[in-house]
């Protein structure tokens, strides 16, 4: 009944405003509420919490496919941080990257097949493109420093990521051929977790430039840096809603790590999950 009501509400909002409502949206996130770190999903209104995995291990960095049917994540269930693919309807899982070292921080390209991922199989962490069907990888960066946390532009032409080549993590943008790289952030000494907005107009990220970690946005050309959260706590892991109107994120403002949602301009921040442990790494499911 709740699903029908949510769908009706979304259609009503669409007719009234021209924009589809978010009542039917769900957020996938990682939580240690069960003792082990597992994947969960929850409705946009904070109801209907559902556990997705029972690995009894450590699971991090979930990424929902553009069509909402698959979920890529890293699990230590085989005692190594490997990449897995889950079909959400059936719950069936498949290990798609099991190289020595780290296999993590996947992000789906708009084509719904290619993943930008981080691998450390050759020493330091580098960016690779992975075909989720053939499981063939193509190296994107070749550096002596760490390149992590890739996020695709909505047109699939570029990737924003974090690199620590100057001794402090900063954001960079690379084209999908790996030929052109430009530095994006110059303010702050620790800028991480970039996420390109669905409209392409902004990149959200977490930075400690004013002490605690807070969520910021910046244009892809480096203009219009804006601070969205002002809490004397850590606010991290920003994730845009599919329509670009909301950002889900992790915050410790209430003493524990919970998932929050805010408008894209930083207004109307509200707590989504309640947990005595830690909820983090949100992503959206439509």
Tell me the domains of the chain and their CATH numbers: 27-285 (2.120.10.30)
Q: Is it the case that residue 29 has pLDDT exceeding 70?
A: yes
Tens digit of each residue's pLDDT (9 = 90 or more) over 223-252 = 999 999 998 899 999 999 999 999 999 999
Q: Is it the case that residue 80 has pLDDT exceeding 60?
A: yes
Q: Is it the case that residue 83 has pLDDT exceeding 50?
A: yes
pLDDT at residue 13, as a whole number: 42
pLDDT band at residue 211 under the 50/70/90 scheme = confident
Tens digit of each residue's pLDDT (9 = 90 or more) over 88-147 = 999 999 999 999 999 999 999 999 999 999 999 998 999 999 999 999 999 999 988 999
Of all residues in the chain, the percent with pLDDT exceeding 70 is: 92
DSSP string, the chain: -HHHHHHHHHHHHHHHHSS--STT-EEEEEE-TTSSBEEEEEETTS---EE----SSBEEEEEE-TTSSEEEEEE-TTSS-EEEEEETTT--EEEEE--SS-EEEEEE-TTSSEEEEEE-TTSS-EEEEEETTT--EEE----SS-EEEEEE-TTSSEEEEEE-TTSS-EEEEEETTS--EEE---SSS-EEEEEE-TTSS-EEEEEEEESEEEEEEE-TTS---EE----SS-EEEEEE-TTSSEEEEEE-TTSSBEEEEEETTS-S-EE----SSBEEEEEEE-
- pTM: predicted TM-score of the whole model, two decimal places: 0.91
Tens digit of each residue's pLDDT (9 = 90 or more) over 184-207 = 999 999 999 999 999 999 999 999
Q: How far apart are CA 200 and CA 203, in angstroms?
A: 8
Q: Is it the case that residue 166 has pLDDT exceeding 90?
A: no
Q: Is it the case that residue 7 has pLDDT exceeding 70?
A: no
């Amino acid at each position: 009944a709740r699903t029908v009501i949510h769908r009706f509400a979304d259609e009503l909002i669409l007719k009234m405003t021209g924009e589809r409502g978010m009542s039917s949206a769900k957020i996938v996130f990682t939580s240690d509420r069960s003792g082990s770190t597992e994947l969960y999903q929850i409705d946009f209104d904070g109801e209907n919490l559902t556990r997705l995995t029972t690995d009894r291990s450590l699971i991090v960095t979930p990424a929902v496919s553009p069509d909402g049917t698959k979920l890529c994540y890293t699990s230590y269930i085989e005692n190594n941080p490997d990449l897995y693919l889950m079909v959400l309807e059936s719950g069936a899982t498949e290990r798609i990257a099991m190289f020595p070292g780290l296999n993590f921080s996947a992000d789906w390209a708009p084509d719904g097949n290619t993943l930008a991922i981080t691998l450390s199989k050759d020493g330091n962490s580098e960016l690779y493109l992975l075909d989720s069907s053939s499981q063939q990888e193509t190296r994107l960066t070749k550096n002596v420093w760490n390149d992590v946390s890739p996020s695709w532009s909505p047109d699939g032409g570029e990737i924003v990521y974090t690199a620590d080549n100057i001794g402090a993590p900063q954001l960079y943008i690379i084209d999908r051929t790996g030929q052109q790289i430009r530095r994006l952030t110059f303010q702050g000494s620790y800028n991480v977790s970039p996420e390109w907005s669905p409209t392409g107009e902004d990149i959200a990220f977490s930075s400690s430039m004013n002490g605690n970690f807070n969520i910021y946005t910046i244009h892809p050309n480096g203009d219009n840096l804006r601070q969205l959260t002002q809490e004397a706590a850590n606010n991290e892991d920003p994730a845009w809603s599919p329509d670009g109107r909301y950002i889900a994120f992790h915050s410790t403002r209430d003493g524990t790590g919970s998932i929050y949602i805010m408008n894209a301009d930083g207004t109307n921040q509200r707590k989504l999950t309640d947990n005595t442990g830690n909820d983090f790494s949100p992503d959206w499911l439509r």
